[in-house]
Structure 1
């Protein structure tokens, strides 16, 4: 059995905590008096500090303690929450991430600078020492300055397996005052039946402290929901005669009263802990590869069964086909994650851009529950960062410009996700100034991308912003202006077998829509034959199939256009493109494919039919072959190449443009 690296487990959980803290901070910006969000941020910082110390990240724990102290003061009402404090903690969180991911890159002087910002935001309370500090006492008039408390508590059996350290709780109680601790060991089973991952101890504590009851509750704030605890305030006489022998724990008392109910409750806790299992992403990738191989093997089995007269073989083949299909569908669901994980990253980005540019930017999202393959999510992150930054920097105006144009001073950027068939469409929309087409054309002509006076469709003109080195910015800033980024966006989206469509209205804003396959591993394809070779066309891109008669083939020579419902569609003869050296079939077929609004026809010899395609990456020797996006293995063991729809559509449109110029 291979155990997961505890440090890597902590890094994963720390990443989740960072997301929770960042989300809470950004939500708090909209309502600085929201006590629930203040408490949530404090709990996140407290957990991060405690977990960091437990796993040996002492620098992280020490630095996080300052942020925790600052929010503790806000939580207690000593200082108000402010945008300056939130900005300081957000910047401090970046330093915490470096302390988790690669402590060697987290320079101490950076931490000192951030702590100075934090201190300026909340006052001297932020410069607390780097170890636990006693909370400020709040003495109630009806309580004496010092009181003695009897605390009995027990944690669930799986507490330590889930990351709770009882010693940390006892240490925090000990810091509150004079503390006597006794462990109850009566629940420990015989050695031959003991489970080393379970916790069998409970504790009885007598605490004399000048702190209020709330300070005791704060110690257990993160485990209160899952534990059994009894806290009683003792009179002076009870405190003087307190017996340090621990009484039965609440769990033991309940077990004596109703053993069956207690056993059922314990079973419920164990079942609850088994609801979620953390699995490394690479294991899912390996499992996906095995499922892909199974689909290929099942396809070969089906082909053999169809040519056999053995009824039992056909029956087994059908069962295997059904089971492999169900396994494939289940595997695809396992790889799916909500796109909210991606959208949530841009709240922080727009917050920082607003502070940097002096603009008022509001980010809105729709369709966060739309699920996409995790591999697609990972590869979409950088392209979306470029697009959102461009919308904020180029698209949105300053508050003064927006007011002069009769708009709301705050600009809006909206991220929308929708599932359409086997694709997910992601739209980045802003209500800014729109794309200046005259400036785009002037820049394109000066860069030699288009000839002066050349006729371009509106979509072709807008697509110029994705050309390498293209930028209409008047000056270079640290946000944009170098023409680097948008061309990378297009290349990344095309590598994902996706498309980009741009629309823009002057003065009203722009909209960029990305159409991306839900998954990169398995697709439905249309299997066709060209010459003696077989090829796969992604079925999601296929609009319709037509027959190309010998007469139409002769008529189109030199023109390569076909009339389709009163519109001309350019087509490409794949036999000529692939140099097959074979004669065309008597009745060729035209497969019309599209990306966005652009269409092109592909002339093939035969349409074989639908095919469940397991995509295999091209070798390094063939990665420059732009016509193909991958390969797959057919049922007979032969290899079929998968056509790159985006590249072929672009080639067809270029062919159409050349025809128009020649005509």
Structure 2
């Protein structure tokens, strides 16, 4: 069997398992929601059918046990219980383990599989024997469900090499007809003469007229693993009022014209001869006999099924491997660099034609850049949904009652950012559950609800996204953090840091105020990982907390890691880049300003003192200082910090290039970019520069 369909099955199965987990958690809160029950059943049914088709028999047989139970739930024979949801979540994890094992992961615990099967079968004797008889899949019973039946025309033209990929098109047709009442007509007009026939190729294609209560998505799911290489057209044919009137019988010619098999003018010409339409069209060579048979089958179904339903919009999408998108973004980045060079060259010459071409290329490249980056954007809700399971399981493990609320799930981020954001958010939420939310009895004593709440939100802010994790727990213990900081030598007894400065200490390596080490926390590694991960994304993190009322952690990260808006600055002949999302303003720094600070790196900005870092000294550059320098004021973790440069050149569209292995550990540099003239500018790592300067100052003052 080819690797390609196996990979397609695994990819789709992982998506279905993610959707299944979300649906099960929603079902736990609303066990009578038939739409959610239907989503669970459909996910199980698709995994089972596709697993059998591609040789994943263990997954198929195991999923069949769960599907059987939910078929009874769907028919109203048994009710959803918390025990059932718990078992389904465990079963979902077991299916994922089976998928991982097929891809070289750890082996499946078959004893656990058998225990789960036994547990699911225990639900079956709870109903009368007559009700336990399985209903044929896809057959709709009852007057209400029958009233929801629609008729569809499906053309399935498989790729010629479908057999070589290990797929039997007849299995797909059988599964399609299981959704309802179907008529299948095979089309043979593409079969070549026998001397040209390849016995391993598929020349047939099929027209299916299907009456079913299933929607377009359910029909499309039958072809989910072959849709990229095959032609699949799904058209609702009992719509637009065509079946409102019992006498409005669709004629054969109307059907053929509607399906594009014949032009209306040719139809009118043939009808003028007054022979039987089908025979005349075949005699004139305008239509193949198979097309007539297919159209007659559709006509018979429409005669029987005369109900009008609103049209379903066709969803057109194309699945593209992530590696191709990454390559496309890389190429667009190169194109942006070349365009910048073209614009700079045109600006240096008095050539109106070249300038016009450069401006047109710049416009097209900007559109291409925006479009390409938007293709990689995904809603952050795909990550949010994973945390509901985390909160549910961990709160039960700790004996707490916690509800997760989310907002802004449709906020979009670059897929790479979302992937790298998952682990730090998990750490933060685990700490909120373990350290933040109190036990139910303690919450009652404090006058709170027994059930705690963690609110997870996301919102766009300029070229960044702000993610907020807020809980209504006990808040951070300022005194405990201060005592721990003094014990570790991070503070002196006489120091009185602000709340924000003090709370930032919890992101230090090995810093923890937990009295006991548990499976959840207390080892002092989680929050250190969080800060390093956020800074690696060129983001920032801020903490606000009020004792007894809760804690809010706010994470700001850029929308994308590929191309960013930045501020280009110069020190001597060297060029540097700062992320524009962190820049607040730029001011001048004169010799008088330096003298007024009495040796301290401070500058007064509207009656407020702002510390600054002279980048010339930091990078040990020997070029002469200009009379008037520039200070770029940035905002980081709620604080304002300045960076002194010789000149602010202006905004710049930066294509990020990673540094080689030799330069990965250079402090204060996160990457590089190529400017329009071909020179290289280094991208400054603002958080790392600030932390490095703070460490240098502590060492200079004798602090540990």
Task: Please give the TM-score of this superposition, normalised by the length of structure 2.
Answer: 0.78
What is the deviation of 1:475?
1.4
2:430 is aligned to 389
Superposed CA deviations along residues 231-279 of structure 1, whole A, max 9, x for unmatched, are xxxxxxxxxxxxxxxxxxxxx986544322122999xxxx977821111
What is the deviation of 1:134?
6.4
2-structure distance, mates of 1:653, 1:81: 57
What is the deviation of 1:653?
4.8
2-structure distance, mates of 1:14, 1:166: 22
1:157 is aligned to 155
| Kept in 2: contact 1:528–1:607 (CA 8 A) | yes
SS in 2 for 1:441: helix
- Residues 52-201 of structure 1 mapped to structure 2, 5 A cutoff: 52-103=51-102, 105=106, 106-120=108-122, 122-123=123-124, 135=134, 156-158=154-156, 166-167=170-171, 170=174, 184-185=185-186, 187-191=187-191, 200-201=205-206
1:361 is aligned to 402
Does residue 222 (structure 1) correspond to residue 218 (structure 2)? The answer is: yes
What is the deviation of 1:596?
3.1
SS in 1 for 2:76: coil
**Deviation larger for 189-198 or 446-455:** 189-198
Does residue 259 (structure 1) correspond to residue 256 (structure 2)? The answer is: yes
| Kept in 1: contact 2:570–2:646 (CA 8 A) | yes
Which structure 2 residue ranges, 5 or more long, are not aligned? 143-149, 222-233, 239-248, 263-290, 292-311
1:210 is aligned to none
| Kept in 2: contact 1:528–1:534 (CA 8 A) | yes
SS in 2 for 1:59: helix
2-structure distance, mates of 1:546, 1:201: 72
Does residue 489 (structure 1) correspond to residue 487 (structure 2)? The answer is: no
2-structure distance, mates of 1:456, 1:584: 35
| Kept in 2: contact 1:155–1:199 (CA 8 A) | no
SS in 2 for 1:5: helix
Give the superposed CA RMSD. 3.8
SS in 1 for 2:531: helix
- The change in CA–CA distance for 1:197 and 1:390 in structure 2 (over 3 A counts) is farther
1-structure distance, mates of 2:444, 2:423: 32
Does residue 571 (structure 1) correspond to residue 581 (structure 2)? The answer is: no
Superposed CA deviations along residues 53-75 of structure 1, whole A, max 9, x for unmatched, are 11111111111111111212222
1:208 is aligned to none
What is the deviation of 1:451?
3.0
Which structure 1 residue ranges, 5 or more long, are not aligned? 144-151, 206-212, 231-251
Q: How many residues matched?
A: 605
1:238 is aligned to none
SS in 1 for 2:154: coil
Match of 2:655 among 614, 622, 627: 614
- Residues 221-300 of structure 1 mapped to structure 2, 5 A cutoff: 222-223=218-219, 226=234, 255-263=252-260, 275-300=316-341
2-structure distance, mates of 1:462, 1:60: 48
Match of 2:545 among 480, 499, 504: 504
- Residues 516-535 of structure 1 mapped to structure 2, 5 A cutoff: 516-535=557-576
| Kept in 2: contact 1:430–1:511 (CA 8 A) | yes
Match of 1:424 among 465, 473, 477: 465
2:10 is aligned to 11
What is the deviation of 1:444?
2.2
What is the deviation of 1:449?
3.0
Superposed CA deviations along residues 336-392 of structure 1, whole A, max 9, x for unmatched, are 111111111111111112221221111111111111111110000011111111111
Superposed CA deviations along residues 98-128 of structure 1, whole A, max 9, x for unmatched, are 21233352221231233344345x25589x9
What is the deviation of 1:443?
2.1
| Kept in 1: contact 2:466–2:555 (CA 8 A) | yes
